[in-house]
Structures are given as C-alpha cells and as structure tokens.
C-alpha cells in the first residue's frame, strides 16, 4: 500500500497525491496496471495516472539538457494538457453536442457583428466617396476650361479678338427653338482650336463620346451640350480679353432647359452638370465658369459681381419666363445659352 503523508507542510503537500488519487494508484497496482478493471471515479483517476506516468516513457525532447531541458519538458506537458482538455467530437454527434451549438452561435454573433460594422462604415463612407467623386469631376471640368481658354485665345488671335462665331442669328428669330448659339461653341473644336474632350464636362451624364462628334456640325441634342456659351446672336458681341471682365462660358444653363419646357425659371439655379444630389452630399453646388480674361473659377451662385450670368439685365428678378427673343443689354452683359 502506498504510504499516505499527514504532514501539514504546504510545499510538501503540494508535491504529493491526494487521498483519492493514492487509492486509485493502489488499486491500479493491484490490478496489474489495467485501469479497465476498475470502475466509476476510481477508474477515471487511474486512467489519468496512467497517462501522466506514460510521459516518463516518451522521448519528448532530444538533444536538450540543463535549463533548456526543463523548459522544453514543461512546454511538452502544457501542450499535452491542452490537447487532453480539448474534446474531439465525432461528425455524427456534432449536431447533438451542446458545445457545438454554443460555438456555432458564437460564430454567427461574430459574423453579424462584423456585418453591422460594415453597414455602419458603408453608411458613413458612401456620402464621403460620392462627394469625392463629384469634387473630382468638378476639378476635371475646371481644368478643361483652362484648356478652352487657350483655344479661345488662339481663335481671338486669328479672328480680330472675336469669340467663336459660326451663325450670327437664329433662323427662326427664337433661340429657344434652336441650338444655333451652341453651334458657335461647337465651331471652336470643329475649326481645330480645341478638342471635343475639352468641351465635354464629366458631370454631364448625357454627353456624347467626343470621338463621335468629329463627324457632326453641331451637338446632337441640347442635352449633349456640356456648356452654355455667351449669346453672340446679336450685334452687341463681347470681345475676348476686354474689360470689364465677364463670364463667357459656364456649365450648362438650367434656365434654358426650364424655359424650353415652358416652366417658370429660377434665375439663381445651379448648373445641371454640378447640381446638388438627392442626398445633398455635394460640398458646393454651382458651376465652373470661364472669364473673358482667360481665367476659370467655381461660382456657387449665378451672380458674378452685379451680373446674373444666366439671364440678360432685363430679367434679373428671381422668377421669370423666357420667350426666346431676349438679348444681352450691352456687350458686357453675360447671357449664357445653348
């Protein structure tokens, strides 16, 4: 029989087996180290004793000695204990094991938490990304106007400081029924002073492929036009690079589109190419504008100084209706149409 110690020394007690393990060890020795002959809790304790004693027969570490041997041995014992405590569930029993369901529930909670985090992130990032995309289009359009300014200067140098002119007056007498003034701007690219890419704003969802425009004499529709050009269908034509400085080109005039549909017009509306979106995510709504001195800038309203660029001086009230015969009041009165 194994001698049981009754010492009260804590360190010594920690180094000895408890009474139940001692009894299990005695029974294991008596049955010839066959734990299967025992039963109940004594059998479970005997099996753990057999597993522990088996460690003494395994070559856990090779080529180690001194402190390294101790560290390697303790690591091996820890790994063994971890593997012994981890239950192995058979595939057929997995669906009926409570621990499997607990693990599955935990995994689903993690998935749902991650999905919720992604939805929150998407709701925050979507307006930011939309704003960045629209700001990038705005900047691209503004950069294109800088190139158009160079084309205007080249045209003015060849034609006595004139703005591009192909048709001098609308055939019907009503510019709302025609795209004659838009053809004057089209002429700038058709005559080789600019490219159709430069006259196409990326913010215009109805813009045509610039390559397809080369075979035409005008924009295929008013919707395909990206910019409104100074009304030159009058004898009071402004000149390029003259004072006082005025707006001669800007993103498409929304007043013209409303007038062609017979609607009352808001003279302070924003250009259709850069209008505030439905979610209101555009940082600034307004229009890019090209001045007669060759500079380009972003206008947050239709006002440039005391001049409203969408309408002639005779239509400066907030609400008005066009009939198509309106003309600039003087050569420095901006009235951008297409």
> Is 269:255 a contact under the CB 8 Å cutoff?
yes
Q: Which whole-number Å values give the CA distances from 323 to 35, 110, 252, 260, 331, in the listed order?
A: 107, 65, 19, 9, 21
Q: Among 71, 87, 103, which residue terminates a domain?
A: 87
The torsion region of residue 40 among left (phi > 0), alpha (psi -120 to 50) and beta comes to left
63 and 177 inside one domain: no
251 and 323 inside one domain: yes
58 and 142 inside one domain: no
> Is 187:232 a contact under the CB 8 Å cutoff?
no
What are 256-270's pLDDT values in tens digits?
888 888 887 777 777
Domain of residue 54 covers 10-87
Q: Among 33, 61, 87, which residue terminates a domain?
A: 87
| φ, ψ (nearest 5 deg) of residue 304 | -125, 100
79 and 161 inside one domain: no
> Is 288:142 a contact under the CB 8 Å cutoff?
yes
What are 281-293's pLDDT values in tens digits?
434 578 888 898 8
CA end-to-end distance (rounded Å), the chain: 111
Asked whether residue 93 is assigned to any structural domain, the reply reads no
pTM of the model: 0.60
172 and 291 inside one domain: yes
Enumerate the β-bridge partners of residue 303. Answer: 308
Quick one: pLDDT band at residue 193, thresholds 50, 70, 90? very high
Asked whether residue 156 is assigned to any structural domain, the reply reads yes
Q: Which whole-number Å values give the CA distances from 15 to 5, 251, 317, in the listed order?
A: 11, 89, 100
Asked whether residue 1 is assigned to any structural domain, the reply reads no
66 and 145 inside one domain: no
Which helix (H) or strand (E) element contains residue 118? helix 98-158
Ranking 33-37, 157-161, 215-219, 223-227 by mean pLDDT, the lowest is 33-37
What are 299-310's pLDDT values in tens digits?
888 888 888 888
Q: Is 304 helix (H, G, I), strand (E, B) or coil?
A: strand
242 and 302 inside one domain: yes
Number of folded domains that form the chain: 2
80 and 134 inside one domain: no
Give the residue carrying structure tokens 């749902």: 112
Asked whether residue 75 is assigned to any structural domain, the reply reads yes
């Amino acid at each position: 029989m194994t001698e049981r110690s009754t010492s009260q020394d804590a360190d010594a007690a920690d180094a000895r087996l408890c009474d139940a393990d001692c009894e299990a060890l005695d029974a294991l020795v008596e049955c010839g180290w066959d734990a299967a002959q025992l039963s109940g809790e004594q059998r479970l304790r005997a099996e753990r004793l057999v597993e522990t004693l088996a460690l003494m027969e395994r070559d856990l570490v090779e080529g180690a000695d001194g402190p390294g041997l101790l560290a390697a041995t303790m690591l091996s014992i820890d790994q063994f204990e971890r593997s012994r405590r981890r239950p192995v569930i058979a595939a057929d029993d997995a669906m009926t094991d409570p621990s499997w369901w607990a693990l599955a529930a935990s995994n689903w909670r993690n998935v749902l938490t991650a999905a919720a985090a992604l939805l929150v992130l998407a709701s925050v990032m979507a307006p930011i990304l939309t704003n960045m995309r629209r700001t990038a289009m705005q900047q691209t359009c503004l950069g294109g106007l800088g190139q158009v300014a160079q084309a205007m200067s080249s045209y003015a140098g060849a034609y006595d400081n004139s703005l591009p002119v192909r048709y001098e007056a609308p055939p019907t007498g009503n510019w709302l029924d025609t795209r004659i003034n838009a053809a004057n701007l089209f002429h700038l690219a058709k005559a080789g002073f600019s490219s159709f890419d430069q006259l196409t704003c990326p913010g215009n969802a109805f813009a045509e492929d610039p390559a397809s425009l080369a075979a035409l004499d005008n924009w295929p529709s008013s919707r395909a036009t990206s910019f409104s050009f100074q009304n030159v269908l009058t004898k009071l034509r402004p000149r390029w690079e003259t004072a006082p400085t005025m707006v001669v080109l800007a993103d498409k005039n929304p007043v013209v589109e409303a007038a062609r549909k017979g609607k009352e017009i808001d003279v302070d509306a924003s250009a259709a190419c850069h209008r505030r979106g439905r979610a209101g995510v555009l940082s600034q709504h307004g229009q890019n504008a090209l001045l007669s001195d060759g500079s380009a800038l972003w206008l947050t309203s239709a006002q440039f100084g005391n001049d409203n660029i969408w309408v002639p001086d005779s239509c400066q009230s907030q609400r008005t209706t066009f009939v198509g015969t309106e003309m600039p009041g003087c050569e420095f009165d901006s009235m951008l149409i297409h």
